[in-house]
Amino acid sequence: MSKILVFGASGQLGHCIKKVADEQQITEIVFPGEDEANILNEAGLDKLFNKYQPQYAINCAAYTAVDKAESDVDTARKVNKDGAANLAKLCKKYAATLVHVSTDFVFDGSSPDPLTEEDAANPVSVYGLTKLEGEQAIAEVLPAHYTLRTSWLYSEYGNNFVKTMLRLGAEKDQLSIIADQVGTPTYAIDLAGCILHIISNDNKQYGIYHYSNEGVTSWYDFAMAIFDISGTEVKVSPIRTAQYPTPATRPTYSVMDKAKVKSTFNIEIPYWRHSLEECIKRLNQQ
């Protein structure tokens, strides 16, 4: 496989890419430390690209604190827009292809149907807006890019909804979970596998692709599945978004249509509950 540089290697998705790369015995992949791979330091990035001469860069680095972004707009924009633009410029200079990870939060959630790559983006949060700006900044500079929008990411690594629910389920007798936001969870191991598959089967069909697991659920039903699979006994009450106000507005419906990524790269995508079972099994083995 071609030489790959991974940015945001210490985060959830970065860990999953490393795990999948190890399982697939991919050796031409580099996971530089945060100082060396700071996407806001263009001169440092130039040194890194010059040192490794990668054919691909994977950008997992992002500002993902959705609520905090509402009061920290400058930092969110620097990381999600300017950092992405910096990587695109360096990829262009060194003739590398960029695989960039984006989000379902670029949509407003008003569509009644699964969202395609052709649907108009209309973010309703600072996080979603800055991620969209990052997508646009890349597209302006670098034709050779794949942007993968994903949703509700979780894994054995980092902080995520699954691990939070398992912790709260062990600590509390009763929980209230939002039931009127609908989407699809994505096991970061599956997304990592998709990214590496695209690189190893690169057909130059550049652009935006949607990737999550298959199926549709709400946060409430997702939580119920977590407790069911893990054997956690806790009373869970469904609540409406209006009963749990947050600084950032979230899309009410962000199910994504994955026909394009499946047909273009000939991939099969697991159903969300099957992947959740695999994740919880791995967590139990830790």
Q: Which residues are catalytic?
A: 127
User: Which ranges in the chain belong to alpha helices (H)?
Assistant: 12-23, 42-52, 66-69, 73-77, 84-93, 126-141, 161-171, 188-200, 219-230, 259-265, 272-285
Backbone φ and ψ for 3, nearest 5 degrees, come out as: -70, 130
Taking the CA atoms of 81, 12, 210 and 104 in sequence, report the sign of the dihedral they define.
negative
Distance between CA atoms of residues 57 and 282, nearest Å: 28
Locate tokens 């940015």: which residue?
A: 7
Mind giving me the DSSP string for 101-117?
EEEGGGS-S--SSPBPT
Are 66 and 248 within 8 A, CB to CB? yes
Distance between CA atoms of residues 240 and 67, nearest Å: 18
Residues 6+ apart with CB under 8 A from 16: 155, 157, 188, 189, 191, 192
Residues 6+ apart with CB under 8 A from 20: 189, 192, 193, 196
**DSSP 3-state of 257:** coil
Locate tokens 């500002």: which residue?
A: 63
